[in-house]
Each structure stands twice: as C-alpha cells, then as structure tokens.
C-alpha cells in the first residue's frame, strides 16, 4: 500500500464534501519576525504592540496575509496538489485577528464542481475556513482551481457553479472587536493621509521595488507549510525555474503599498484576485494601487476602502490588460480587497 | 599571545578528558519558526501546541533535530575544527524534549583514541551530552572524527576503540514522560498509517524534492552556532563551493519523510549515520526510507520504528552502495534512527 | 496630491528641527533568532538567558547592534532617502539593554547644517535617540549625511557644524544596571582572555570569513525596516548590483570578532565609523581588530576596551589606508567602539 499522498483528482471531489486539512500550526513571535524579514512590511498595527493597543487591540496581531497563508497552506495537499491552475478567489473575510500563541487549523467544503469540455480536467470550488484553538473562525474564503482527472472514464458530476459575490459589501466585513481609531497616531503610522483623503479612481504608484530571491520565497512558502513541488524543486519544470507561490507576490505587493497607503492598516475582505503571470526569481516586483470604492462602517472613526493592488515585473503603472482582454505580460497580480483606515 | 582558537589537534586529546563546550544557548519561538522556514517540517507534534497537548506533552517541543544541531554545534570549535572527516555516529538518545525558553549547553568526554598508520592523523571518539538549565541531559550521542596531528613527532597514544552498540535496543530509548497516543488524531497528523501498517523491509519513496540554496544552509548552520569555515567561506575550498553542513541534509531529509511517515512523530534514537557524499547548493535533495525494525514499548499506544533514512541528489530509491561496497555518488546521507509512532 | 514619501531634501532641514520617525517596532524572540541566523553571533551574554543572569541582567538582551539597526532603520525615510553618502557617526551610546517584548521608537534632532560649495548638496547632522515603551532612551548617536538639494535656488542656511567628541570618554559610557562580572564563566564564554590580557596597539586577526548572499542581507535590512531602495532593487544601480546596508557589514564583522574577542561582551559606545568601500554579494567578509585604548570603569570587575573593528573583502590584516590617505580597496568598514569586558 502506497503511503505517500497522491493528492485528489477531479473525480475524487463530491459536492458538499468536507475536508479537514492536516497539520495544525501554532504561530508566534518567530513567524511575526520572519514576516518582517521576508517582506518590507511596515504597517504600524502589525509592527508595534503599543500602537496596536492604542487602536484598541490587546497586542499586535500576526499580519492578516500571514494568517491567510497559514490557512491556505494547509489546503494544498488536499485541494491543489494535482491542480493545473489556481483560477480565482472570492468572498474572503478576516473575522478575528490572529495573535502569537494561536493555533490555526483549516477545513474546506466543496461548494461547486464543473468538468471541462475536454473531459480531462474540471473546476473545483471550495470554501475554506481557518479556525483557532477556541474553534473561532479567523477567516474564510472561496477558491476555485482546475484539477486533473486521473480516471478519464469517471463520469462527469452534475455541474454546480456557486453564486459568488463579485464584491463583498461593507456589511459583510468584520471589524475586530474593540478597534478604535479615535486616538490614531498618524505620525507614528508614517503618513498623514486619512480615509477622507482618498478618491475613488485615484491611482498610487508605490515606487519601491524588490528583486526576488529563491531562498526568500522558499522560506516564506515553507513557513506556511505549503508543499507544492513547483515552488521548491528546480527539476520539476522543464525550464529549471521554480514557480513562486502566488501568495509571496501578494505579501510583497501589499508590503510595498505601505508607501502611499500606510494607513490602510487592516485587510478585512478579499473580493477577488488573479495571478496574472507567473513570477520567478530575478524579477523585480513593484506595485500600484487604485481606489475602487469607499464605505463608512458602523464603527466610529473607522472607514473601509476597497483597493485594487497590482504587482508588476516591469514597473508599469495603471496598465492592466491588452486589447485582447488578457493581462499584460508585466502584470503579476491583480488583487481586489477591502482595508480599514482611520477616517 | 594568539587569542583566536586554533582548534585541538590529535595529540591534544587524552582518554577520559572532559571538555565543557562554550556558548550556552536559549532557544525559543524564533528558532522554532526558523526551523519551519528552513525545512518543510510538518510533523504535527512539532507544529501545534494543541496537538502536542493532545499527546500528553505540555506544549510543542523544538524539533528533535534542532536540539541535536544546537548540542552538536557547540562541539565544533573543540572537536572538529581540524577534523579531516566526520566518520560516524552511534548511541544517540533523545532523553528530554526541549521547549522554547530552555537553555542548552554541551560537553564531551573523550572515550577513544587511535592514531592512523600514516602517523599524520588519528581518530577521536567523543561522547557528547547536551544539558538544559536544570542540568538534565536532553540528549547524548557518540561521534568519531578523523583529526590532523600538528606535531607529527608527538607519540601515538595507546589505541582505545570504544565498544559501541550497532543498534540501540528499545530498552535504551527514553519515551518522554506523559507521552500518550491513545487520543491521537490521525486526520490532523496528516496520514492514516499507524505503526501496525508498516512492515520490516518496506521502502517508502518520499517523492518531494528541494533544491538547496546557499543562503538557507548558511542561516541554518549559523543558527546552531556551528562555525566550521567550510560551510560559510567560498574561498576556503579550491573549487569555490561551500560544503553544506551534514545536519542540514539530515533535517531536510527528515522533513521530506513526512510524506509517507507523517506519524513517525518523535526521534528518540540515533543508531548510526554516514554523510555518504558531500552536498552543495544547487543540488535537489530527495529522500527515501526503509523500515529496518519495529518494537513495542512499555508505553501503551506507543510503538517504536527503526528507519533507514536516505537522502539523495539523483532521485534514486532503494540503491545505496555499488559492487565495490562504496556509497553510490547520488547518495548524500544514510541515517539509521528510531522514532515513536501511534500503534 | 502625491501620497508617497519623496523624502526630505537639504533645504527641508532646519537647525533644531525635531523629527519623530514612524513605525514603532516590538522586538522579540523572533528578531533574536534571526540575528543568530544571519550573523555568526556567539557572545554568550546575547545567546543564553542563564549566562546573562549570571552577569546580573534579568535575561539575555537583544544584540546591541540589532537595537542600533532598529533605531537607525526608522530614520531612513526621514533622513537618508535622498542621501548621496553616509558620512560618519559619533557619540553613539547604548544606555539601556533592549529585551524581547520592548517596543522601540526613534526620533532625530537636526544639530548641524552646511551647504556644500557646489550648491547642489549639503551635509545634515542629526542626533538620533531610540526610546522604549517606557520612554527611556535605549541609545543615541550622531550621524551626518550628504543630502541632495531639490530646489537649487533655495538659500543656503547658516553653516553650523556641531562640535562632536572624537572619542567618548569612559565617563560617557553607561554600564547597564546590575551588570556584574565577578562570577563570569570564561569557559562558557568561549575564551580565557580577560581585559587585563589585551594591550593597547595589539591587533587580532579574527580568521573566519563569510561569503555574502543577497537573500541574507535583504532579510536583515528588511527586519530593521530600512527601506532604502538601493539595498533591494537590482534595477536601481546601473551595474545591477544591490548595495549592501552598511549595518550588515558591521554586524557581520562584530560577530566574526568573537574569535579573539569573545569576552568583549557588550557594546556601549560608538566613537566613529566609516563605510570605506561598498559591499556587494559574493564578497567574502573577514575582520580584524586593534586595541585602541583601555579604561577602568566604576563597576568592580568591569573594564572598558576601545576597539577598532575593520571588515575587509580581501583578507588583509592591519592595512587601512594608502599613501594618498584613502582607504584601501579591500577595506569595507572602519569602526571605533567601546565594549565592556571582565577584568
């Protein structure tokens, strides 16, 4: 009996199936420091316990994206080991901050299945939920991936494509208990721009760039216990390149966006995202953002801002797709998220 | 008076000599996180405080091999600075788990000496003991190295070669106080295979590979305060390559062995080991295991499994030595250890 | 309105101006472990809580240079984003050890301004103060940088060049409260040489070398939240090389100096320093030291030693400047500091 994990194939997924993912993980001060070593992260709420307390939280949480990566990483052996492509994200919500000492688990429910017309692959939709040691959901999100069939003769399941919100409304967002920006220190945060200073349609070039190294993306991806071979094994692809985990690009771009969005402190919603082109070591990642929407929240002093975050390998700003509707070759990431800012 | 450490030469060792190694080290959450960033480590007992508590331990310990590396690293300035070769290990026992906050020291006793017939080198056998801040021994092991003579005219000592067990018996193994696998969660651990599912002689191809980077092996080796020049200084060898610390390969192979041995949770005995061929950056490390033996333990629910762990640079599985009795060029490591599994 | 930080230009600085730098930072066990992974740091006081307690401190502090890097990193967006050159340091004092859990902020006062005769640049002198969450100053130092003018027509300010001590006297140095070397364990510290064993004028070749990797210097520099583009972006310089943060070389050389100066435990004063030549990845950093002075301190058992620490890329020892008075091309760093040793 083979003891290693072959991964699931398209015909192995059933609608409504619930998968408890393996290897719970206690995150702590080490993960926090590594996040700051791997990305130029500077949002003050995630850098200083004192600043976080000034905003009504008990201490500085783990970066929201680190929480996402930990929850996501656990799904890889069950969801994307035989995936051909990571097609999209929707309805991502951060529901509870994650603090050093918390232990995260994750589980997924199959909410959609659709075999492709070629009969060789299909699309699997899962809603993944990350929970802490108190069984509180810290985040959930929907992801869909294209997965290979192993047995091409397996019958196609009834096609079910879930209805997903294109954009979360502000009512869908969870604002951490106690969050209070009334004594927010803009000087310590690094920029004076408040929620009211941003206009829908405004674009911000985040200026700085980081050239990507193999050792760094592998350390990051391992830290989240993401085991996809293509990130680590230079013999896996014919071109000898290691494909960089898309989440590494997300974290890099988000960290770079500090320069111009220092007060977009907390990520609370993920509306969608596309890994437009693959990223490899040696590329220099830059980022720009566009304000897509703004909304008031029920919490005094806290505004929500919807941002498009684009990572590029060519330093372009504002350009996204060509006339053919496809992403331009210099675009690595197109992410649509909600963040909280002081009004 | 020269103030730097010239290291000891063969004639400087005396039978029965006890060496207290320098630089005690407090290990914590940072070392734990770095271990997970540097190796694809996923054994649940070392990943989650909750899982460890479910197994009767107070919290998740530092990886057993991290404890070994810390204890080993301290011996380098005293034992292997002038070593020509690291010849072998025996009688390695993990006696107490190491927890964040523990401070480790190590000391060695010279238990054997044998000058080589060329008169230029000799073999030194030491038993090294790692202790924590309560003077409890956390692990001990025997290592023997070939060391250069500085004064070729120094008389050869009486040859003493210690009698070492080829294999530890199950009675030699220490099972951590409180360890209890009766409520073991196989789903969270990642695989359903229990001790009873493994057969002596069974071989497991761990499938995954990791291509080695300079920055990673140097960070790991520094973290264990191992100062051997050959790991860090590209000008040291004529070929300009940095030789990778053998322990980096051990940890990499052990972490890769999760895929097929996810429930071989704790390493408790080291029967022997050979660094069959040198490892350099750019190689892709893979691993396979062979079940060498199985034994019941006095603790209900806990079985011991003796495993051969082989790291390769060529992806071969099952092949170890050529007709000449020498390790094949694609074999990096041949390790023989005992682990604890739920029965 | 542009939202990204353009940095300050020479004409933006006013004498007496006080700048509160952004992004406070809580440092912890993760930063401590990363410091040991990035540098071959082995000074026992910073490695072991038990050793630190044996020296009268409550636990092992964060490395003194890590504290310096955190305080320094915060000044970059306000002081050196448009700097042409980092000209010098003076009057650096470590006033309080930094412990895991402390939150550091920093602020600078402009204490000197002098426009250069070319009218295009000027020299800005700042005194930077790092404080912890109790508003205690943990360190302060003076730095001067050459900064570009943006508006070449801006009038030159009155030239004010502060009088700075060439060398701190022993009375300027702060000895941590409680520090006590009377039960100092030289065996655990790694070397027998005490303060009395060092002679003014003595030179020590620290022997070991480390070849520098891109991933490592970037991780270090990010960890200190130093955002200068030139360290991260390979497209920034015409030669495609990333300039290594000078502080990375300082920490590397200091860590290498353990071999010969294992008992120069605590850095308490920075008299001056020059980054003699730029450092790039691929170079192998070595170090040598010269004893410049010695002084008794008011604390029994604690001596002060003034050291020149030189980092090189060519392994030279003792040579510093050519006949033209300029640093030789193989010299990377020339640092002048005070450390505390057991007498």
Q: Which of C107, C135, C218 to mutate to test the interface with A (most CBs of A within 10 A)?
A: C218
Cα–Cα distance for residue pair B75/B228, rounded to 1 Å: 11
**A215–C215 C-beta distance less than 8 A:** yes
pLDDT at site A84: 85
Q: Within a 10 A sphere around the Cβ of B120, how many other Cβ atoms?
A: 12
Gyration radius of chain A over CA positions: 20
Cα–Cα distance for residue pair C160/C142, rounded to 1 Å: 14
- What string of DSSP letters covers B4-24? S-----GGG--TT-EEEPS--
Contacts of C219 (CB under 8 A, 6+ apart): A37, A38, A216, C34, C38
CA-based nearest residue in chain C for residue B107: C188
Distances (CA, A) of C228 to B284, C5, C18, C236: 34, 12, 21, 11
**A31–C28 C-beta distance less than 8 A:** no
Kindly report, as residue ranges, where domains of CATH 3.10.129.10 are found in chain B. Answer: 1-27+62-164, 167-343
Question: Nearest-5° angle of CA B188, CA B191, CA B196?
Answer: 120
pLDDT at site B85: 86
The pair phi, psi for residue C256, each rounded to 5°, is -65, -30
Contacts of C313 (CB under 8 A, 6+ apart): C277, C279, C283, C284, C285, C286, C330, C332
CA-based nearest residue in chain C for residue B19: C187
Does the pLDDT value for residue B9 go beyond 60? yes
Which tokens in the block code for residue C175? 């000895």
Query: Can you tell me whether residue C127 is helix, strand or coil?
Result: strand
**Helix (H), strand (E) at residue B307:** strand B302-312
Cα–Cα distance for residue pair B38/B248, rounded to 1 Å: 9
Among C301, C296, C293, C303, residue whose Cα is nearest residue C337: C293
Q: How many distinct helices (H) and strands (E) make up chain A?
A: 7, 12
Scanning chain B, the segments in alpha helix (DSSP H) are 29-38, 49-54, 64-75, 186-189, 214-223, 246-256, 258-261
- pLDDT digit string, tens, across residues B117-163: 999 999 999 999 999 999 999 999 999 999 999 999 999 999 999 99
- Which residues of C are less than 8 Å from B81 in CB distance? none
Cα–Cα distance for residue pair B240/C246, rounded to 1 Å: 25
Contact C313, C285 (CB under 8 A): yes
Q: Within a 10 A sphere around the Cβ of C160, how many other Cβ atoms?
A: 13
**A236–B49 C-beta distance less than 8 A:** no
Report ipTM for this prediction: 0.96
- CATH topology for C165-175+189-343? Thiol Ester Dehydrase; Chain A (3.10.129)
CA-based nearest residue in chain A for residue B46: A25
**C47–B4 C-beta distance less than 8 A:** no
- pLDDT digit string, tens, across residues C192-207: 999 999 999 999 999 9
**B4–C211 C-beta distance less than 8 A:** no
* DSSP designation for A267: E
CATH code of domain A193-343: 3.10.129.10
- pLDDT digit string, tens, across residues C55-106: 999 999 999 999 999 999 999 999 988 888 889 999 999 999 999 999 999 9
Of B40, B191, B284, Cβ closest to residue A235: B284
- pLDDT digit string, tens, across residues A254-312: 999 999 999 999 999 999 999 999 999 999 999 999 999 999 999 989 999 999 999 99
pLDDT at site C2: 83
Among B137, B10, B21, B32, residue whose Cα is nearest residue B72: B21
Residue A82 confidence class, pLDDT cut points 50, 70, 90: confident
- Strand A302-312 with A331-342, pairing: antiparallel
CATH code of domain B1-27+62-164: 3.10.129.10
Conformational region of residue B7, where left means phi above 0, alpha means psi within -120 to 50, and beta covers everything else: left
Of B40, B49, B207, Cβ closest to residue A4: B207
Of A190, A209, A259, Cβ closest to residue C233: A209
Cα–Cα distance for residue pair B42/A221, rounded to 1 Å: 13
Q: For A127-152, b where at least 16 C-beta lie within 10 A, e where not — what string?
A: bbbbbbbeeebbbbbbbbbbbbbeee
Does the pLDDT value for residue A1 go beyond 80? no
Of C101, C213, C225, Cβ closest to residue A42: C225
* DSSP designation for B265: -
Residue whose token pair is 């919603």 = A269
- Which residues of A are less than 8 Å from C219 in CB distance? 37-38, 216
Contact C132, C96 (CB under 8 A): yes
Closest approach of chain A CAs to the CA of C251, in angstroms?
16
Cα–Cα distance for residue pair C53/C50, rounded to 1 Å: 5
Cα–Cα distance for residue pair A332/A254, rounded to 1 Å: 13
Closest approach of chain C CAs to the CA of A174, in angstroms?
25
- Which residues of C are less than 8 Å from A221 in CB distance? none
Residue whose token pair is 């655990």 = C188
pLDDT at site A19: 98
- Strand B18-20 with A302-312, pairing: unpaired
Of C29, C225, C233, Cβ closest to residue A211: C233
Q: Would you say how long chain A is, in residues? A: 343
- pLDDT digit string, tens, across residues B272-289: 999 999 999 999 999 999
CATH code of domain B167-343: 3.10.129.10
- Which residues of A are less than 8 Å from C225 in CB distance? 36, 40, 42, 47
- Which residues of B are less than 8 Å from A3 in CB distance? 191, 193, 197, 204, 260-261
Strand locations in A116-214 (E): 121-131, 137-148, 203-205, 210-211
Contacts of B299 (CB under 8 A, 6+ apart): B175, B179, B180
Which tokens in the block code for residue B67? 């404890």
pLDDT at site B296: 97
**A38–C34 C-beta distance less than 8 A:** no
Closest approach of chain B CAs to the CA of A61, in angstroms?
16
Q: Would you say how long chain C is, in residues? A: 343
- Which residues of C are less than 8 Å from B24 in CB distance? 44, 47-48, 50-51, 188
**B47–A232 C-beta distance less than 8 A:** no
Which tokens in the block code for residue A264? 């977009």
Q: Within a 10 A sphere around the Cβ of A237, how many other Cβ atoms?
A: 14
Beta bridge partners of C220: none
pLDDT at site C1: 54
Weakly modelled stretches of chain C, pLDDT under 70: 1
**A193–C3 C-beta distance less than 8 A:** yes
Class for domain C1-27+62-163, per CATH?
alpha beta
Q: Which of A27, A31, A35, A50 to mutate to test the interface with C (most CBs of C within 10 A)?
A: A50
Give mean pLDDT, residues B63-84: 94
pLDDT at site B83: 86
């Amino acid at each position: 009996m083979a003891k290693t994990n072959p991964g699931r194939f398209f015909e192995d997924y059933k609608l409504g199936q619930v998968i408890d993912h393996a290897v719970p993980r206690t995150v702590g001060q080490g993960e926090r420091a590594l996040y700051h070593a791997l990305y130029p992260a500077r949002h003050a709420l995630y850098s200083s316990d004192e600043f976080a307390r000034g905003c009504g939280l008990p201490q500085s949480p783990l970066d929201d994206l680190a929480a996402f990566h930990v929850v996501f990483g656990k799904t890889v052996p069950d969801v994307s080991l035989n995936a051909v492509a990571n097609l999209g994200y929707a309805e991502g919500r951060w529901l509870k901050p994650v603090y050093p000492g918390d232990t995260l688990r994750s589980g997924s429910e199959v909410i959609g299945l659709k075999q492709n017309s070629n009969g060789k692959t299909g699309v699997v939709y899962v809603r993944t939920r990350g929970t802490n040691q108190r069984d509180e959901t810290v985040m959930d999100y929907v992801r869909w991936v294209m997965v290979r069939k192993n047995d091409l003769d397996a019958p196609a399941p009834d096609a079910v494509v879930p209805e997903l919100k294109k954009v979360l409304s502000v009512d869908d967002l969870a604002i951490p208990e106690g969050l209070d920006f009334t004594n927010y220190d803009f000087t310590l945060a690094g920029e004076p721009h408040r929620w009211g200073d941003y206009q829908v349609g405004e674009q911000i070039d985040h200026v700085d760039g980081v050239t990507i190294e193999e050792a760094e993306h592998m350390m990051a991806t391992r830290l989240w216990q993401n085991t996809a071979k293509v990130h680590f094994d230079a013999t896996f692809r014919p071109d000898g390149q290691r494909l960089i985990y898309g989440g590494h690009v997300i974290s890099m771009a988000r960290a770079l966006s500090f320069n111009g969005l220092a007060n977009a402190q907390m990520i609370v919603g993920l509306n969608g995202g596309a890994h437009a082109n693959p990223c490899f070591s040696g590329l220099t990642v830059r980022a720009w953002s566009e304000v897509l929407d703004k909304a008031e929240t029920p919490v005094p002093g806290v505004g929500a801002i919807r941002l498009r975050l684009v990572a590029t390998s060519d330093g372009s700003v504002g350009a996204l797709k060509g006339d053919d509707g496809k992403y331009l070759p210099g675009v690595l990431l197109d992410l649509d998220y909600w963040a909280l800012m002081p009004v």
